[in-house]
Amino acid sequence: MLRPIFFLLLALFAGCQRGTYYVAHKAAIAEAAMVVTPHPLASAVGLKILKQGGNAVDAAVAVQWAMAVVYPRAGNIGGGGFMLIRRANGEAASLDYREKAPAQASRDMYLDAKGNVVEGLSINGHLASGVPGAVAGLFEAHARYGKLPMAKLINPAIELAQKGFAVSHGEADRLNAYQADFRKYNEDPNPFFKDKWQAGDLLVQSELARTLQLIRDNGPEGFYKGETAREIVAEMKSANGIISLDDLAAYQAKWRKPIIGQYKQYRILSMPPPSSGGVALVQMLDMLEPYPIAQWGFHSPQTVHTMAEAMRRAYADRAEHLGDSDFYTVPVDSLLAASYLQQRMAGFSPDSATLSQSILAGQFKLTLESFETEHTSIVDQEGNAVSVTTTLNSNYGSKVWVSGAGFFLNNEMDDFSVKPGVPNQFGLVGAEANAVAPGKRMLSSMTPTIVEKDGNLFMVLGAPGGSTIITGVLQVFLNVVEFGLPLDQAVSAGRFHHQWLPDQILMENNALSESTTATLAAKGHRFQTAKAIAVVKAIVRLPDGRLHGAADPRNPDDDARGF
């Protein structure tokens, strides 16, 4: 009799242990500093660096290295990203370390002889990868703003890769979901091959640890030249990949002038092209500012209708006009001009949805403008802020793991418009501005954002989520400043999204009430449901000066902590 009870208790105890590898803090209030990341182990690294005297950039860099180990589905050294920095003195900078198309890339490289898109070619496998920018970006940010030695920032990641760490439920689920792809696109076995992953299984990444050591000891050349570069190129040559040693050696991150907008007493700093995020966010805010959405109420039919109409118009412009400004004249000033945005909403009707077919992108006389052109939010004890979003694009990127070097390569080439008007994996369409060209950066939706209120740091936010990143950031900001929600509620509240095409409101389950959707349907809106729309990580400065950090419940591993 006692034996079964003993085994039952043992099983329950074991089950409990298996479920408690990390405690992810969904919200935190702190006096001095705050770190919000997609994984508790990465947050712990960021916090440790701050406590050792590092600043927000040091912490962000250390978090990115750690994420490359503990969050292999998106954290990376085989991808790229954008970092937005606001120093305590108000100086702002944005760093572009987005991937670039290899020199052998060409406009029609994903089309067959008949000019049709070859399904999946830009999404999975060796040809889907752009030249990675992450390592160059982290060194560039650190060189300009870091305080602590790089070795101190990278060593925690090396230790996590060498000793291994227990995978979370979320990671185990994804690792299981992608087993077939891992085997399809990789000839050599790698640490991710396993018949069934369970939460708590140890993931040891010795090859990655060695690559991180090479990077620590040799700087960017530990990645872009020598052993690691040769391993990347050998991996490319094992299939149909085209990234060359020259592509790697030539990669450079670029400082760009942040997009700056104003919404009431809030100054918005965000990411310029090759991200569409900053432009589209500021466009939507400008279009919405004249409307009394706070008075209409949170998720009221009129509020949702007006916001969806602003989203529709911004995404129509995104499709036509946004791309890498080093290759295409992106009319940023025209797109953000008050007169243009007023006229953009002129055809807006409070009573009916505008047909997306009738919203063409705005027409401008193109004049040459000036050349200045995963998510973690951090505020340090001096008041410096960093908002950084990096990506492999899909989960585990192209699914190609570089043999010997130990990391996944991105599939960012799918963010190009591989054929005008043909949607990518996020359903986004594009045109000439975002056509593939050698050395060009593909258009992104990543929207690392920092907000000032009356000249002082107010909010730091951003998200993963493909095309829904921009509208996710928009809604969390408005939830706080218009609808008065505390940050954790602002982040967890249901979300919706409109991206011009397809002509529909994407809506999280139960985000909008039945009566709201009925009213909106009567205006002509169509609906599609989604499990999650963006996964926002945000920090807000409270009126008493403390920091409120909020991690998103949409990702169980999202974690906020401060001191």
**Which residue ranges make up the site for ligand GLY (CB under 6 A)?**
391, 393, 412, 415, 444-446, 466
Strand, helix or coil at 433?
helix
231 or 412, CB closer to ligand GLY? 412
Q: How far is the CB of 288 from ligand GLY (least distance, A)?
A: 22
Q: Which is nearer to ligand GLY, 54 or 448 (CB)?
A: 448
The minimum distance between CB 188 and ligand GLY, in angstroms, equals 27
Q: Compare residues 80 and 220 and give the one whose CB is closer to ligand GLY.
A: 80
Which residue number, 417 or 445, has a Cβ lying nearer to ligand GLY? 445
**Amino acid occupying residue 43:** S
Between 324 and 412, name the residue whose CB sits nearer to ligand GLY: 412
Alpha-carbon span 210 to 228, nearest angstrom: 10
**Which position among 37, 211, 373, 447 bears the catalytic label?**
373
Cβ pair 545, 551 in contact under 8 A: no
Token code pair at residue 100: 């670039």
- Our CB check for ligand GLY shows the closer of 40 and 464 to be 464
Q: In the annotation, is 211 catalytic?
A: no
Q: What is the DSSP letter of 456?
A: E
The span from the CA of 544 to the CA of 557, in Å, is 29
Q: How far apart, in whole angstroms, are the C-alpha atoms of residue 90 and residue 88?
A: 5
Shortest gap between Cβ of 538 and ligand GLY (angstroms)? 18
Q: How far is the CB of 308 from ligand GLY (least distance, A)?
A: 20
Sequence-distant contacts of 382-385: CB under 8 A, at least 24 apart: 382/55, 382/88, 383/88, 383/457, 384/55, 384/56, 384/57, 384/85, 384/86, 384/87, 384/88, 385/56, 385/85, 385/86, 385/450, 385/457, 385/460, 385/539
Of 549, 539, 561, which Cα lies nearest the Cα of 458? 539
- Shortest distance, position 99 Cβ to ligand GLY, whole Å: 9
State phi, psi for 426 to the nearest 5 degrees. Answer: -95, 5
By beta-carbon distance, which residue lies closest to ligand GLY?
Answer: 444
| Whole-number Cα distances in Å, 3 to 11, 12, 14, 160, 337 | 12, 14, 16, 39, 76
**CB of residue 12 vs ligand GLY: minimum separation in angstroms?**
42
Q: Which residue has the tokens 């992953």?
A: 197
Which residues are part of the catalytic machinery? Answer: 373
